[in-house]
Amino acid sequence: MKRLIVTLALVALMSGNVLAEGTTFGFMGGLNLANVTGDDVEDNETKLCFGGGVFVNFPMNEVISMQPELLFMMKGTKLVAFDDAGVRMSYIDIPVLAKFTVPMEGAFAPCFFVGPYVGFNTSAESYVEDEEFDVKDQIKSTDYGLVFGGGFDYAMGEGNLIFNARYALGLTTIDDTDADDDVKNTGIIFMVGYGFNLWSNIKLPTLP
């Protein structure tokens, strides 16, 4: 998984150097319907969280582009047996997505994307009503998984307004207390953002 992420990142950087004219930089944020799943998880439900960050999109051609992202994502789950109890976690996630845009006339451009992510845990706590307990030492520091989804871009000004929905599927257990436990992060994420066309904002020097 680490090698795949590094390889995709290098491809993105190389394609960005070749086709810098279409490179966009942007930001996005939204809601994460977070949960944890696995054979050792039960009596829990989705927890509403938030997340967002920045991205760079490097086009390879009119259809395919590479999009590394740097996101701060809140994750966790709620316990069904209590009115206000569960687990809250926060991560720095780095997805590297292959984005496929459907060329269309007009301002709308549907898109689909898929790719791996690596996440770094920054905090974790369990809570029951007003009581909180630090459980960061019980959560693995690194998480891996896949992201896939779709949405559309809407041309606006010198960039694009972005709407997308994605599913983040954890592929490794996050439980650091028992290597045999199956506990994985998942999330249904809705994002809104804006991407700026970097090339259009670069002013080339003119000869006297």
pLDDT > 70 fraction of the chain, expressed in percent and rounded: 85
Any domain includes 10: yes
The beta strands (E) that lie in 135-201 are given as: 142-156, 159-170, 184-197
Residue 33 sits in which domain range?
A: 2-14+24-199
Any domain includes 19: no
CATH number (domain holding residue 134):
2.40.160.20
Q: How far apart are CA 59 and CA 57, in angstroms?
A: 6
Any domain includes 96: yes
Any domain includes 125: yes
Contact between residue 97 and residue 115 where contact means Cβ atoms under 8 Å apart? yes
Rg of the chain over all Cα atoms, to the nearest angstrom: 19
- CB hemisphere CA count around 181 (13 angstroms): 17
- How do residues 135-147 score in pLDDT, each as one tens digit? 999 999 999 999 9
Specify the number of domains making up the chain. Answer: 1
Q: What is the largest CA-CA distance in the chain?
A: 75
Any domain includes 207: no
- How do residues 101-148 score in pLDDT, each as one tens digit? 998 888 899 999 999 999 999 999 999 988 999 999 999 999 999 999
Q: Is 97 exposed, middle or buried (0-12, 13-18, 19+ CB in 10 A)?
A: buried
User: How would residue 22 be classed by pLDDT, with cut points 50, 70 and 90?
Assistant: confident
Any domain includes 6: yes
Query: What is the reported pTM?
Result: 0.84
